[in-house]
Amino acid sequence: MTTASEIPALTPALTPAALDTLNQQFGHPGRIDFSLDPQGLVLVQLQFEQHKASFYLQGAHLTSYQPAQCEEVLWVSSCAVFAPGTAIRGGIPLCWPWFGAHETLHDRPQHGFARTGMFEVREVEVAAGYTRVCCALVQLPEFDEWLSPDKTAGVMEMLVDICLSTDLAVSVSSRNLAAAPVTVGAALHTYLRVGDVGKVIVPELKDLYYKDKLRGYEQRRQDQPLVVEAEVDRVYLAPPARVTLHDPLLKRDIQLHCSGNNDLVVWNPGADKALAMKDFDDRGYLNMLCLEPALALTNVIELAPEEIHVLRMVLSVSAH
């Protein structure tokens, strides 16, 4: 295990010397490698046996997960923008410390500030059974309500733990550093790559209640297995700990084992909204479905001082 007691905050683009230092301190050739993408952002590549994953230090944003002898699991738009301060369309954006639009302050960014914030590596492990990296959000928010009274620190500590073994585990840990309770929302906004979104099935959604954003968050019941024929934007309430996406075209099942969530968000923009988004493939909606363990809408949580909450998801893939 490699840890850091005092590491300077990173910027989205590093000098070659700083990148070398990062690899010397935390890199393990063939298991954990740090590099710069063509846009100069720091990319972390993980490997365990023949399983691979990669994420950016900006946003601790996973953009690839490829288990051994399987096709890519995560969907990333071919029009996605990779640039400092810009959210990447696809992969697993981290929505934190709120999900969606801010409830009261409408000038706040969609899905919070973590997905475009800078993270630094705090700890790595290269073990017989897994490869693991733990990162901390170090970029201070621009909003006074999320800063300490002296504006030198945030009121919350956010740690992201990414562990690759024969599956992929992602967890977001939130700790209240303030002297008063703090309300937190979050989501692991997981874009899953599918063969044909109209043919996939998520059987565990049947019989669940959901709030439909397309109908003013009207609450409804899912009487039949979900069939995606148009735009879908729903928050399923009290989901089971495990949900499975059956994909007949890619001949695989993707299982999500989740904990720490009160909801499961299901999203596909449909044809019209895909066309309207500059960073979304015009026909990309046909090959993706978001399944997102979340603390959304009224199901956010209040953390007492020093209280910790962990939102966790494990992705595993099996072939038919």
Active site residue 102: no
3-class secondary structure, 1: coil
Indicate left, alpha or beta for 49 from its phi (over 0: left) and psi (-120 to 50: alpha).
Answer: left
3-class secondary structure, 187: strand
Which pLDDT value is given to residue 6?
Answer: 38
8 pLDDT band, cuts 50/70/90, is very low
Question: Among 296, 302, 299, 301, which residue's Cα sits nearest to residue 180?
Answer: 302
Taking CA atoms, 63 is separated from 25, 72, 260, in Å, by 23, 10, 23
* Active-site choice (61, 120, 189, 204): 189
* Active-site choice (257, 292, 306, 320): 292
Residues in CB range of 136: below 8 A, 6 or more apart = 119, 120, 122, 157, 158, 159, 160
Indicate left, alpha or beta for 31 from its phi (over 0: left) and psi (-120 to 50: alpha).
Answer: alpha
Q: Is the pLDDT of residue 102 over 90?
A: no
269 pLDDT band, cuts 50/70/90, is very high
Q: What is the mean pLDDT of the chain?
A: 94
* DSSP β-ladder status, 51-56 and 61-66: antiparallel
Which residue type is seen at 295?
L
105 pLDDT band, cuts 50/70/90, is confident
pTM of the predicted structure, to 2 decimals? 0.95
Q: How many CB atoms lie within 10 A of CB 177?
A: 14
Structure tokens at 35: 């590099």
Structure tokens at 166: 């024969």
Q: Is the pLDDT of residue 7 over 60?
A: no
Cross-strand pairs, 186? 295
Q: Once rounded to an integer, what is the mean pLDDT over residues 197-225?
A: 96
Which pLDDT value is given to residue 1?
Answer: 76
Domain count for the chain: 1
Convert 258-277 to b/e letters by CB count within 10 Å (16 or more is b): bebbbbbbbbbbbeeebeee
92/59 Cα distance (integer angstroms): 10
Look up tokens 């019989």; give the residue: 207
Which pLDDT value is given to residue 16?
Answer: 81
CATH at residue 165: 2.70.98.10
Query: Which domain, by its residues, includes 53?
Result: 2-319
Q: Once rounded to an integer, what is the mean pLDDT over residues 247-261?
A: 98
Q: Once rounded to an integer, what is the mean pLDDT over residues 182-207?
A: 97
Which pLDDT value is given to residue 319?
Answer: 92
Q: Which sign does the torsion angle of CA 233, 238, 185, 115 carry? A: negative
DSSP 61-88: EEEEEE-TTS---B-B-TT----TT---
Which pLDDT value is given to residue 4?
Answer: 54
119/142 Cα distance (integer angstroms): 16
Which pLDDT value is given to residue 12?
Answer: 56
Q: Once rounded to an integer, what is the mean pLDDT over residues 163-189?
A: 97
CB 66 within 8 A of CB 52: yes
188 pLDDT band, cuts 50/70/90, is very high
106 pLDDT band, cuts 50/70/90, is confident
Q: Is the pLDDT of residue 229 over 90?
A: no
What whole-number percentage of the chain has pLDDT above 70? 96
Cross-strand pairs, 300? none
What are 107-130's pLDDT values in tens digits?
898 899 999 999 999 999 999 999
Which pLDDT value is given to residue 9?
Answer: 44
Q: Is the pLDDT of residue 215 over 50?
A: yes
What are 304-319's pLDDT values in tens digits?
999 999 999 999 999 9
What are 64-92's pLDDT values in tens digits?
999 998 999 999 999 999 999 999 999 99
Active site residue 204: no
Q: Once rounded to an integer, what is the mean pLDDT over residues 260-280?
A: 97
